[in-house]
Amino acid sequence: MRFSLRLCRNRDDAEDIVVETFTQAYLNWERFRGTGTRLNWLYGIAVKRHAMNRRKFRNRTDSIPDDLLADSTNPLDRIVIEEAIGRLPLAQLQAFLLVRSEGLTSKEAAEILGRPLGTVLRQVHQAVHLIRKEVNVKSCDSLPSASLLEAEQ
């Protein structure tokens, strides 16, 4: 559920993805080829279901779920990070969440996503770079300008 929630950023959609994933897995249980773990197979189904649903609802915007922000010591930092993650292109988002959030290896993520290992490595690297860049910009934007600091002295 955590992966679906981070992928969808909407509890109702995430629950739909989980139900669709397990329904699809149940209906196709005998089609599992054994070329990885069943867990990775489920991640793959969830990624595909999310992509299909995303195409249906392209213009929809969602807020960040409260439970994703609860474990942060600084909620404002967590919001900036989650917003940056939410703005990642779909391919980078999928690779980033599988590797950095779910703890899978890049090789496992590449198998799930059906992409070359080098592509997944690059997508995770680019995602981290974009998130760091946005967090640095936001933290600089929140600092008072030099003229305000001088006026206060």
Region 103-109: mean pLDDT is 90
Residues 12, 72: Cα–Cα separation, whole Å: 23
| pLDDT value, residue 116 | 93
With a pLDDT cut of 90, the percent of the chain lying above it is: 20
Pick the more confident residue, 132 or 77: 132
Full set of structural domains in the chain with CATH: 2-143 (1.20.140.160)
Asked if 49 contacts 34 with a C-beta cutoff of 8 angstroms, the reply is no
Q: pTM here?
A: 0.60
Pick the more confident residue, 59 or 42: 42
